[in-house]
A and B are shown apart, each in its own frame.
Chain A
Amino acid sequence: MRHGKYPFILAFLLPGVLIYGVFMVSPYIQAIALSFTDWSGYAKTQTFIGVDNYRRLLDDPQLLTAFRNNVILLVVVPLVTVVLGLFLASMLNVGGRRRGSAVAGVRGSAIYRVVYFFPQVLSVAIVAVVFKYVFSPSNAGGILNSVLEAIGLDSLARPWLGEPRALIWIIVIVMIWSFAGFYVVLFSAAMQAIPRDIYEAALLDGSSRFTTFRKITLPLVWDTVQVGWVYLAIQAMDGFALVHIIFGINGGPEGQGDVLGVAVYRAAFQQTDYGYAAAIGVLLLALTMVLALVSMRALRRERVELA
């Protein structure tokens, strides 16, 4: 009797396993295998060349730039976005003081909530094209320089997209701008789940807004912050679409806006060197996995039961 259950279970599981195997596991394995070959991308055959591609990774100065930029994105973007998201979310939910209720958002919080979410609705391609024109020279419709000139700060105006040192910071700004709204909503949802009476008790004890935030809000939304942090770090590891659209395939002047994702694309589709592209891809995969593990560990904390 009992042995009959396995075919039944398999009938349900197999399609999923197959699809996952073909479309998820197999590309990973193939990419790792490719990284040890010199496959051009067009050839019908490929030669095994051992770790040559990985050796090349080590003395590719452009890759070092891309890696440095990924690290900048990885450190700065999640930090600023989470801080900004927490600040805005607490303002929207518990920042205000109104007669009749102990905890409420600042005036107009319903409107802000919608406005903050706008960037999330735009596709990344649109965001990138729009920001390309934010940073253009003013005679090519550049918004930032036009504003600077309008308020008399002409001396600060720069051909931003032509300034190698400014490039990665442009991506940092655009990422924060487009991510922050989502995390405001995410943290807002978490904050609304905090029982109001905890706040009332804190207020009765004379706790200041900052103390309330630090001692009550933050610990109680920590789980969400942790998830958000990991998610943000992985998002920041990407940056492919933004860099590709704003700076182009070479990562802008002197390649200073390059990221690893674009380096993979360039090696594969511009240099027709799929083996090398796969090696960069494997590096990126390893980094992302290490990152996820590290952040899960570093941010682990006791869960607080609300009930």
Chain B
Amino acid sequence: MSRSQQRRSIPTGGSRRRFLKQLGASGVLLGPGSGLLAACATGGGDDDDDDRQTGEVTEQNPFGMPEDGEIEIWIFDGGFTDRYAVELHQPILKQRWPNVQIDHHAAVDIGAELQARFVAGDPPDFVNNSGDGQMDTAQLVADGQLHDLSALFDAPSWDDPSVKVRDTLVPGTIELGTFDGTPYVLNYAFTVFGLWYNKTLFDEHGWTPPRTWDEMLALCAEIQSAGIAPWTYQGVTAPRYMNWPLLTMAAKQAGPQILVPIDNLEEGAWKQDAILQSAEAIYRLAENGYFMEGTEGMEFRDAQAAWARGEAAIIPSGSWLENEEADAIAEDPTFEMAYMLEPLLTEDAVMPYETLRATPGEPYFIPADAKNPAGGMEYMRAMLSKEGARGFTEMVSSLTSVLGAADDVELDAPGLNSAKQAFSAAGENVINWFYPTWYPTMENPGIDQATGKLLKADINPEQWAEECEAVTRQIREDDSIPKQTRS
């Protein structure tokens, strides 16, 4: 294409066919375009570690982070916002490593921001994989996209070099982020699950948290006769929240081992006696009309707000509830919420009444292809310092997986404070199950939909167990889903 040719007047004549032919012949011209095509979504990146930053390993610097390097950090901007990272954790790190540069990012949709970078082999150094846009951790592990965190947990802790990071954590923290024996995910926030009740209402009427399910049913009758709905749950959005008391009560009844076959996708896992017994108990609530009217057609936030307004007395949730409904709670200054343990199904339950479900949550990981993985781990080590953990609890009203970090913290939030006390009282009797982490689609939509029907009394506990079995079978037989087991 020379200049002289372009200056000519627009030529007339010549058939379109001939033009297309010529266009085809000049396929070379499409060259750069086809190159682009190949580089699009699935073009892929090569695995080159040439640009990996490293520094010298010392006692102070256990991962050999470059002391003047840059750490690219992505924080989920959700319920906790990213203030804790900017105002708390990053200053702690900068104090020890003044020359380290932090490239901070906050995002609401983590997956949308970062997925393409994982595929291209150019991910950041540290990711808070949380929120609606959360990436499937098990899949990332299966695709070899995550960095092994063993070095972090074996490193000396930030505050006391004689104690390993591993030994500063609440038991169960590392296990939840472990896939096939290798820890890949640090779960930092600590969540206590259970029932939450309107303490103001309870005090007013002289009600007390029931110890057994029979007492619970008697209490429900009393609450109902006072013109208040005894229970509500997260409505059409998440009936699965009711699975939590269901499985917790079953485990209290028959011991934590009954959760193992469920996690291992064994046949008949959902038909174990205690599971059916617990489903029967929950079903009783539906049969007796103890759920707030309209719950099954509500958005979860509407149901929770109705509970905060005193229209229902009891709701299942994790300890984030107080933070999530802060606005609705603030409407009524007299409202006080408190934590309630799931009642025992019968007095001859295997585990004590104080047993509760608590789980490490809020996952953080380091991509396998990160340029500065050592920097990412050093950042995690700083987060797991006493100061970092206590500050987190104070700032966002959530417990952390650092042992004893919040012991001397007096929480302003009465709900969380009551959960903290229950957690201390539980001692060793803390249970958890893993299938929602391992197989997210089994929990939702799978079990979620079955439980939704149970709560509407559309199906009975036997049919519910049958549907849960079908969901489990589907997961078990789907070869595209990477499997985990535990004992």
Give residues in A with beta carbon < 8 Å to B. 1-2, 4-11, 13-14, 17-18, 21-22, 26-27, 29-30, 33-34, 38-46, 132, 135-142, 158-163, 248, 250, 252-255, 269-273, 276
Contacts and interface: CB of A to CB of B under 8 A. Distances in A.
Given A10-B26, A254-B452, A41 B302 contact: no
B294 A137 contact: yes
B8 A140 contact: no
B310 to A, nearest CB: 12
B303 A140 contact: yes
Interface in B1-29: 1-2, 5-6, 8, 10-11, 13-14, 19, 22-23, 26, 29
Contacts of B119: 41-44
B303 A10 contact: no
Interface stretch (B55-63, B138-146, B208-216, B241-249): B138-146
Given A139-B311, A141-B302, A248-B237, A21 B33 contact: yes
B306 A140 contact: yes
Nearest to A2: B11
Nearest to A275: B480
A43 B143 contact: yes
B452 A11 contact: no
A5 B139 contact: no
A255 B302 contact: no
B294 A7 contact: no
Interface in B53-91: none
Contacts of B306: 139-140
B436 interface: no
Nearest to A139: B294
A44 B299 contact: no
A11 B1 contact: yes
A113 B339 CA distance: 56
A45 B44 contact: yes
B41 interface: yes
B121 interface: yes
Nearest to B12: A5
Contacts of B111: 269
A250 B135 CA distance: 17
A140 B302 contact: yes
A10 B10 CA distance: 12
Interface string B34-52: 0011001110110100000
B445 interface: yes
Contacts of A158: 297
B449 A8 contact: no
A175 B8 CA distance: 54
13 contacts: A6-B26, A14-B29, A22-B40, A30-B37, A30-B40, A42-B119, A44-B121, A137-B297, A159-B294, A159-B295, A250-B449, A253-B236, A253-B453
A40 B139 CA distance: 7
B456 interface: yes
Contacts of A18: 30, 32-33, 36
A161 B236 contact: yes
Contacts of B22: 6
B345 to A, nearest CB: 27
Nearest to A53: B480
A5 B40 contact: no
A38 B236 contact: no
B463 interface: no
A207 B153 CA distance: 89
A8 B10 contact: yes
Nearest to A23: B40
Interface string B101-113: 0000000000100
Given A43-B143, A159-B297, A7 B1 contact: yes
A27 to B, nearest CB: 7
Contacts of B440: 270
Contacts of B121: 44
B441 interface: yes
A4 B9 CA distance: 9
Given A14-B29, A269-B133, 10 more contacts: A17-B33, A26-B40, A39-B42, A42-B145, A45-B44, A140-B302, A159-B297, A253-B449, A253-B452, A270-B136
B457 interface: no
B403 interface: no
B136 A272 contact: yes
A99 B56 CA distance: 95
Contact of A8 (B11, B136, B295): B11
Which 4 A-B pairs have CB atoms at the shortest separation, nearest pair first?
Answer: A159-B297, A137-B294, A5-B11, A162-B297
Contacts of B136: 42, 270-272
B6 A11 contact: yes
A6 B302 contact: no
Given A7-B6, A30-B40, A42 B139 contact: yes
B294 A44 contact: no
Nearest to B482: A40
A93 B453 CA distance: 50
Contact of B45 (A29, A30, A44, A253): A44
Given A21-B33, A136-B298, A255-B449, A8 B311 contact: no
B118 interface: yes
